[in-house]
Amino acid sequence: MRRIVTILLLIIVALGISLSLAKIPFGTPKTKVGKYYIDEGIEETGAVNIVTSVVVNYRGFDTLGEVTVLFIAAIGLGVVLTASGGRETRKTKPASLVLYTGCRLLFPLILVFGSYIFIHGHLTPGGGFQGGAIIASGFLLIYLGCRERRINRIASNLAESLGGLTFVVIGLLGLVFGGYFLLNFLPKGTANTLFSAGIIPIIYIAIGFKVGSELAGIIDNLIEES
Amino acid sequence: MIFIVSFLVVLMLVGAIAASFFRDLIGAVIAAALVSLIASILFYFLQAPDVAMAEAAIGAALTAAIFIIAIRRTERFEE
């Protein structure tokens, strides 16, 4: 009986979703704001990657909220796991030589790649969130391959705090110089060069540090405390 | 092009169904990571490389790792 009701409900939900999706005219632009970003974005913000110009410039305040959500999630996880028990002390089998050497060899390359992604966020696809996630996956590799190596908690907390602080301070400087939060007050430079787009690369580097250290901290908490 | 995308979508469906049917939870996590990986390839085909990168790094790598850490502390096989 329950199964039949579930299947019926699922059929109703599927019908509703497919009917409402069929009404959407895919491929035809409905809003004008998207076209505006594509046409004027490079001119206005100096960032060649339009996704970045939307994320950090036009919708920069939303990004601050997004970073805050991630920060609260990481803090909450740390609190819950630290309260639930002490550090893990059981013995672990050391990784084989091939795995150990491979991890140590790959780790700096992954770090460089992640940094490249967030430093060039305004030029090529990617940015602070993607670069931070790549850096955190590098730390995950170290945790799996070389178990005796740990991240320095103080350094990671420092990077996290400095990243968040840089974001907010740059936003407030915009308030001081031009009158609104997160104003792009630095010179925009020539588009498609590394030093262009004003505050966008600075904010994305700050986000990269923040996201990378937060996700690495989550992995550290999960492996160590659980 | 359409054939590659259809093949990937079918593979994604197989991965999703496998993830819900596997009794071995590690296998289920790998199948779920496969879904994320194919989703990131599809995002790339849809000209959204930014989303593709985030999906590959977070969906395929970090989420799977967090699930595996959780499984390590609980039971590997479902009853």
Average the pLDDT over each of A67-76, A77-86, A136-145, B3-12 and give the range with the smallest value.
A77-86
DSSP H helix total and E strand total for chain B: 4, 0
CB contact, 8 Å: B46 with chain A?
no
Write the ipTM. 0.84
Residue A35 has a pLDDT of 83
pLDDT above 90 for A11: yes
**Structural domain count of chain A:** 1
As beta bridge partners, residue B24 has B77
B77 φ, ψ to 5°?
-105, 140
Compare all CA atoms of chain B with the CA of A127 and give the residue at the minimum distance: B50
Query: What pTM was computed for the model?
Result: 0.83
Residue A179 has a pLDDT of 79
Over the stretch A94-128, which tens digit does the pLDDT of each residue have?
Answer: 778 888 888 889 999 999 999 999 898 888 888 88
Map tokens 């178990």 to a residue: A147
Q: Which residues of B are less than 8 Å from A136 in CB distance?
A: 57, 62
Contact A224, A144 (CB under 8 A): no
**More confident: A192 or A88:** A192
Check CB contact under 8 Å for B62 and A117. no
pLDDT above 70 for A86: no
> Structural domain of residue A94, as residue ranges?
2-225
Alpha helices (runs of H) in chain A, residue ranges in sequence order: 2-22, 32-45, 50-52, 60-84, 97-119, 128-145, 153-177, 200-225
For residue B7, CA distances in Å to A26, A72, A85, A210, B38 come to 22, 39, 46, 38, 10
Q: Rounded CA gap, A171 and A139, in Å? A: 30
Mutate to test the interface with A, among B62, B71, B73 (most CBs of A within 10 A): B62
